[in-house]
């Protein structure tokens, strides 16, 4: 595993272990034990043992951490996986238990020189969402593109194109379609804000030019 940046870190830039990604891509599968490698741009990678068995649910992470002085340390530790009943009353929802704070989370980060993967709340320095680092005038544009490019929105758009995807049930929107409409409405609102800000900048630029 490589070195960490010392500047302010965003959730997209930090190395992360995302539980939904592991499940979706079959790295973590119910009833199985699997061994795999997670890699990031820049050459960083870690080894993982994933267990989702009746009596054993955990990730075992092992990697070499290189600090800012170039010294290397070997790490191997467990990240327990816990499940809680779904609020829909159907099945269970899995979470990772942060090895540092003990809190349940869906994503673990490695940033700010940390030797461990841990949840956002376990960091003294803040891990920013992408929009939180933007200048105020650019926030609508940044948030617009972030939503448009988000995995969640792309998945819902693909689902909309599927022949047998139900958008209504008993005369009401299905949960996934309501989420899609909410995202579309938010994108539309951000598009308007973005256009207004762009128009304001253009007017200001030409006003300064003619003055």
- Residue 3 counted as domain residue: no
Residues 124 and 150 in one domain: no
Reduce the DSSP state of residue 192 to 3 states and report it: helix
CB 98 within 8 A of CB 88: no
Residues 164 and 70 occupy one common structural domain? no
Write down which residue in 128, 150, 176 finishes a domain: 128
Residue 206 scores a pLDDT above 50:
no
Residue 71 structure tokens? 């010294």
Tell me the mean pLDDT in the region 142-170: 76
* pLDDT value of position 209: 40
Domain membership of residue 99 as a residue range: 9-128
Asked whether residue 50 falls in the same domain as residue 101, the answer is yes
Q: What is the mean pLDDT of the chain?
A: 76
The residue written with tokens 């609020």 in the block is 87
Kindly state whether residues 120 and 150 are assigned to the same domain.
no
Band of residue 11 on the pLDDT scale cut at 50, 70, 90: very low
Kindly report the backbone phi and psi dihedral angles of residue 91, in degrees, each rounded to the nearest multiple of 5, phi listed first: 70, -165
In a domain, 53, yes or no: yes
Closest by Cα among 106, 99, 101 to 61: 99
Instruction: Say if residue 191 is in the same domain as residue 149.
Output: yes
pLDDT, average across residues 129-152: 58
57: tokens are 């649910």
């Amino acid at each position: 595993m490589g070195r960490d940046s010392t500047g302010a870190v965003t959730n997209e830039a930090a190395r992360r272990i995302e539980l939904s990604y592991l499940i979706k891509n079959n790295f973590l599968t119910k009833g199985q034990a699997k061994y795999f490698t997670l890699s990031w741009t820049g050459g960083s990678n870690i080894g993982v043992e994933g267990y989702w068995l009746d009596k054993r649910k955990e990730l075992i992470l092992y990697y070499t951490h290189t600090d800012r002085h170039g010294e290397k340390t070997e790490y191997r530790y467990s990240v327990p996986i816990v499940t809680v009943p779904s609020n829909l009353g159907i099945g269970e929802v899995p979470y990772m238990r942060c090895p540092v704070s003990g809190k349940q989370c869906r994503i673990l980060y490695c940033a700010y020189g940390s030797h461990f993967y841990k949840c956002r709340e376990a960091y003294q320095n803040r891990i920013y969402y992408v929009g939180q680092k933007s200048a105020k005038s650019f926030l609508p544009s940044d948030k617009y593109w972030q939503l448009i490019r988000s995995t969640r929105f792309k998945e819902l758009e693909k689902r909309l194109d599927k022949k047998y995807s139900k958008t209504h049930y008993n005369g009401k929107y299905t949960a996934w379609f309501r989420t899609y409409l909410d995202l579309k409405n938010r994108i539309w609102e951000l598009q308007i804000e973005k256009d207004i800000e762009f128009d304001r900048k253009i007017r200001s630029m030409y006003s300064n030019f003619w003055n």
